[in-house]
């Protein structure tokens, strides 16, 4: 590695790996040098003039690989990130970084021990509207936040079981695979202290369906009598996707279906976009329109490209990661992505929610973080 040049290795060159490589490749001094993917690595290698590495070990010993982007199926992240850290590489890991708090903790410690960067791909953090809302909250416009409701529900038809994204052992199911909203809730309220979840698989029993729970409803408690509710799943014929932030002085609704965001305080209603440009905002609306009746076609697959809105936030995120590696600089608002706290905390709460569902009780998140409970 020189100050001028960072060589990136891509582990998993599918829908997101390809998009992250595109985001990084345009950064000054960034080069995509090696691709490992047990499926088709050649297409992405050709796009960037990179070489195909037939094994992960081969990619990790390569002297021209300074940093590794892990964008493989979720269940593969743990071994790959630990191996990358032991090989002395910086790591960008897609979400969910792991399928348990314990694994995430080990991965973060492995990078700390190696002195390498561990960066969690919680890309929602980079949405313009999310950042604007946080500025408004920091300026005191909502008073104290008392309650956040996050809803990410849709209908997915039958036959999705061929995708790893619909198999719980590989994806973790909706809660882990879509950890974004849980992470966003905790970025507003801090780590949850108590967790309750109900749900199950209510509408996907065909032989060719996946095995994930398609309806999950959650309640979270936070220090200081503050609360959140989350709804996730693919069993809902009335799709909803928004985060509603309620404060003692006002409220903000972040609309994820193309409607944008709204601040409401006494005497003032202000609309602001979720994304950077009108074209990105419109691509968000088109994305949801395309999935209005059946969103199963919206799962990314290795041969599809990300929509404009997603390319936009990946642009911000890859810029942030590359700048951190090359200059050591990271804005304070993104620090929880690089110190492990956002990923570790989201997975601790997800594990507590999972335990709650399994044991039909409210779970203290400390049961997970103290090591008394394991998934
Ligand atoms: N941030 C986001 O908004 C977002 C969106 C989609 C996916 N993701 C995440 O990106 C990651 C990849 O998802 P995707 O949508 O690109 O999936 P995908 O199915 O399109 O691509 C996965 C790729 O990984 C390859 N692969 C399979 N096993 C592997 C292994 N052991 N090692 C390396 N590569 C392997 C596959 O051949 C495939 O090319 C996942 O962690 C997913 O959760 C994030």
For every residue of 154-213, DSSP letters joined together read EE--S-GGGSGGG-HHHH-HHHHHTHHHHHHHHHHH-S-SEEEEEEE-SS--STTS--S-
CA–CA dist 83, 340 (Å, integer): 17
- CB-CB contact of 91 with 116 (8 Å): yes
Q: State what percent of residues in the chain have pLDDT above 90.
A: 97
CA–CA dist 138, 252 (Å, integer): 13
CB neighbour burial string for 263-274, b if at least 16 within 10 angstroms, e if fewer: bebeeeeeeebb
The pLDDT tens digits for 4-21 are 699 999 999 999 999 999
The yes-or-no verdict on residue 114 having pLDDT over 80 is yes
Q: How many CA atoms lie within 13 A of 182 on its CB side?
A: 32
Q: State what percent of residues in the chain have pLDDT above 70.
A: 98
Task: Collapse the DSSP code of 142 into the 3-class scheme (helix H, G, I; strand E, B; otherwise coil) and give the result.
Answer: coil
Residues counted in the chain: 375
For ligand 1, the distance from its centroid to the CA atom of residue 11, given in whole angstroms, is 9
Task: Note the helical H segments in the chain.
Answer: 15-25, 42-48, 56-61, 77-86, 101-114, 128-138, 168-171, 173-177, 179-189, 278-290, 308-327, 335-338, 341-359, 365-369
pLDDT of residue 371: 82
Helix (H) or strand (E) holding 246: strand 235-247
Atom 5 (ligand 1) nearest CA: 16
Chain-centroid distance of CA 180 in Å reads 5
Atom 19 (ligand 1) nearest CA: 301
Atom of ligand 1 nearest to the CA of 300: 15
Atom of ligand 1 nearest to the CA of 77: 41
The yes-or-no verdict on residue 375 having pLDDT over 70 is no
pLDDT of residue 150: 98
Residues near 327 by beta carbon (within 8 Å), at least 6 away in sequence:
none
125-317+345-359 is a CATH 3.30.360.10 domain = yes
Q: Which of 9, 10, 13, 14 maximizes ligand 1 atoms within 8 Å of its Cβ, making it the mutation to test the pocket? A: 14
pLDDT of residue 3: 52
In CATH, the architecture of 6-121 is 3-Layer(aba) Sandwich (3.40)
The pLDDT tens digits for 165-176 are 999 999 999 999
Atom 39 (ligand 1) nearest CA: 14
The pLDDT tens digits for 27-61 are 999 999 999 999 999 999 999 999 999 999 999 99
The pLDDT tens digits for 120-140 are 999 999 999 999 999 999 999
The yes-or-no verdict on residue 374 having pLDDT over 90 is no
Helix (H) or strand (E) holding 243: strand 235-247
The pLDDT tens digits for 188-240 are 999 999 999 999 999 999 999 999 999 999 999 999 999 999 999 999 999 99
Task: Collapse the DSSP code of 122 into the 3-class scheme (helix H, G, I; strand E, B; otherwise coil) and give the result.
Answer: coil
Cβ(38) to ligand 1 under 6 A? yes
Cβ(302) to ligand 1 under 6 A? yes
The residue ranges of every structural domain in the chain are 6-121, 125-317+345-359
pLDDT of residue 133: 98
The average pLDDT across 83-104 equals: 98
């Amino acid at each position: 590695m020189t100050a001028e040049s960072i060589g990136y290795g891509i582990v998993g060159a599918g829908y997101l790996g390809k998009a992250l490589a595109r985001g990084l490749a345009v950064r000054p001094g960034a080069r995509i040098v090696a691709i490992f993917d047990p499926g088709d690595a050649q297409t992405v290698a050709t796009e960037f003039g990179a070489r195909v590495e037939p094994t992960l070990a081969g990619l990790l010993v390569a002297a021209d690989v300074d940093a590794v982007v892990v964008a493989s199926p979720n269940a593969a992240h743990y071994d790959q990130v630990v191996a990358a850290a032991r090989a002395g590489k910086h790591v960008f890991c897609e979400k969910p970084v792991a399928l348990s708090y314990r694994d995430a903790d080990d991965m973060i410690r492995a990078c700390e021990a190696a002195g390498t960067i561990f960066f969690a791909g919680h890309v929602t953090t980079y949405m313009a509207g999310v950042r604007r809302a946080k500025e408004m909250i920091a300026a005191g416009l909502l008073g104290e936040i008392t309650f956040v409701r996050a809803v990410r529900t849709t209908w997915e038809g039958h036959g999705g079981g061929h995708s790893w994204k619909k198999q719980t052992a590989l994806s973790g199911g909706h809660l882990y695979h879509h950890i974004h909203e849980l992470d966003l809730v905790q970025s507003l309220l801090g780590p949850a202290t108590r967790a309750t979840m109900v749900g199950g698989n209510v509408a996907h029993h065909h032989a060719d369906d996946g095995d994930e729970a398609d309806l999950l409803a959650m309640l979270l408690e936070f220090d200081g009598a503050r609360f959140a509710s989350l709804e996730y799943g693919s069993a809902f014929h009335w799709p909803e996707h928004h985060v509603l932030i309620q404060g003692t002085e006002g409220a903000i609704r972040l609309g994820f279906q193309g409607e944008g965001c709204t601040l409401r305080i006494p005497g003032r209603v202000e609309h602001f976009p979720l994304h950077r440009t009108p074209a990105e905002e419109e691509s968000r609306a088109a994305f949801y329109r395309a999935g209005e009746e059946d969103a199963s076609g919206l799962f990314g697959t290795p041969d599809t490209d990300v929509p404009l809105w997603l390319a936009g936030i990946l642009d911000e995120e890859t810029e942030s990661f590359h700048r951190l590696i090359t200059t050591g600089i990271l804005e304070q608002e993104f620090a929880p992505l690089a110190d492990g706290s956002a990923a570790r905390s989201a997975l601790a709460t997800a594990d507590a929610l999972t335990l709650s569902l399994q044991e039909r009780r409210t779970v203290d998140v400390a049961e997970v973080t103290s090591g008394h409970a394991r998934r």
